[in-house]
């Protein structure tokens, strides 16, 4: 699959959040978007997910001759709090597919079978995030948009998510994620810093102080 973003623009009143964003990526890649709070990372991902509308420019995500399927995991957890993991998944999966994925597929890989009867309101942050990803990958997306998917999660939760994402890439999927996590930056094939509405190419060289100055 191919993702191409051309001259994307977004304004909130007089404030310019995205000022001519352009990049391209292909299946199998992981692309990191770095930046400080309020830099526009979430705005960029929400536009690519079709949640928000750009004020200029455009993008296309294609797989062969058709539009690519897209999965989106925002910063928050867009789940039905009063429902269990099973009931939330039922909004996205048919019964047969959900059963198969819980027994031997990606939902089991994410560990959702361990808490599939637990109401969302009683879940830990890690459970909610894994369930959010499980919902987002219904329909076998080819492009995953992840907004700080492992923020504040423990090592075990991160490990299960990273394992799934590695398999996703091996199968030709493309990941575009906003992150501040050094470990995740090192997993990326390429990274960009978003600041002052512009994307700048960035290569992590181990200098954390330099990175901190770039994204502050």
| Token output for 108 | 């089991």
Residue 167 belongs to a domain: no
Taking the CA atoms of residue 173, residue 183, residue 192 and residue 9 in that order, the dihedral angle to the nearest 10 degrees is 70
> What percentage of the chain carries pLDDT values higher than 90?
71
Residues 50 and 81 in one domain: no
The CATH number linked to 196 is 3.40.50.300
Residues 65 and 146 in one domain: yes
Provide the whole-model pTM.
0.92
Quick one: average pLDDT of 58-70?
A: 93
Degrees, nearest 5: CA angle 145-74-123: 125
Residues 198 and 133 in one domain: no
Q: Are 87 and 112 in contact (CB under 8 A)?
A: no
Residues 31 and 43 in one domain: yes
Could you tell me the residue range of the domain that residue 82 belongs to?
76-140
Residues 118 and 187 in one domain: no
Residues 185 and 120 in one domain: no
Residue 168 belongs to a domain: no
pLDDT tens digits, one per residue of 85-116:
999 999 999 999 999 999 998 899 889 999 99
């Amino acid at each position: 699959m191919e993702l191409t973003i051309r001259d994307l623009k977004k304004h909130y009143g007089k404030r310019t959040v995205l000022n001519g964003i352009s990049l391209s990526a292909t299946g199998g890649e992981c692309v990191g978007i770095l930046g400080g709070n309020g830099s526009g990372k979430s705005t960029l991902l929400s536009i690519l997910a079709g949640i928000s509308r750009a004020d200029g420019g455009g993008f296309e995500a294609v797989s062969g001759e058709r539009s690519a399927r897209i999965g989106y995991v925002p910063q928050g957890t867009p789940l039905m709090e009063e429902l269990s993991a099973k009931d939330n998944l039922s909004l996205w999966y048919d019964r047969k597919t959900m059963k198969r994925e819980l027994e031997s597929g990606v939902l089991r890989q994410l560990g959702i079978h361990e808490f599939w009867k637990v109401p969302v309101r009683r879940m830990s942050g890690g459970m909610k995030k894994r369930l959010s990803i499980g919902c987002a990958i219904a329909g076998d997306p080819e492009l995953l948009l992840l907004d700080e998917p492992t923020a504040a999660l423990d090592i075990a939760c991160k490990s299960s998510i990273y394992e799934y994402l590695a398999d996703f890439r091996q199968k030709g999927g493309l990941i575009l994620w906003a992150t501040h996590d050094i470990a995740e930056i090192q997993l990326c094939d390429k990274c960009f810093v978003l600041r002052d509405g512009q994307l700048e190419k960035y290569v992590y060289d181990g200098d954390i102080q330099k990175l901190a100055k770039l994204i502050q």
